[in-house]
Amino acid sequence: DTGVSQDPRHKITKRGQNVTFRCDPISEHNRLYWYRQTLGQGPEFLTYFQNEAQLEKSRLLSDRFSAERPKGSFSTLEIQRTEQGDSAMYLCASSSSRAVANYGYTFGSGTRLTVV
């Protein structure tokens, strides 16, 4: 198992463009989380999937943001009409619902988005 993979590692985009990030969780993990981390702050929860169902979305997730997890495997996070305030590190984490209390979460290395 290679852990949680995120792609791309870095993305620079012009304001107004759409971007899409991908996360491949640990294969046996049924839970997948997206977080956003801005400079000097802790990660903030964006959304959560259990298998293919999106079960919770933060108020931080405006209507320009959409996330999917087809077939309960990899997940994508799309930001439409990017704004400079979207510049951040986007982190993905996965866990097993049966073992999360004991084993915690595994994070990917993140995708750093810069909107210019």
Partner 1 sequence: GNSVTQMEGPVTLSEEAFLTINCTYTATGYPSLFWYVQYPGEGLQLLLKATKADDKGSNKGFEATYRKETTSFHLEKGSVQVSDSAVYFCALSLHGSSNTGKLIFGQGTTLQVKP
Report yes or no: 97 and 30 within 8 Å, Cβ to Cβ: yes
Nearer to partner 1 by C-beta: 14 or 101? 101
Shortest distance, CB of residue 42 to partner 1, whole angstroms? 3
Contact indicator for 109, 6 with CB cutoff of 8 Å: yes
Q: How far is the CB of 60 from partner 1 (least distance, A)?
A: 12
Kindly list the residues in this chain that would bind partner 1 in the complex (CB under 8 A).
31, 33, 35, 40-45, 48, 50, 55-56, 91, 93, 95, 97, 100-102, 104-110
Judged by DSSP in three states, 104 sits in coil
Of 21, 11, 18, nearest in space to 81 by CA: 18
The residue (of 31 and 69) whose beta carbon lies closer to partner 1 is 31
Nearest-approach distance from CB 50 to partner 1, in angstroms: 8
Distance CA 59, CA 33 (A): 15
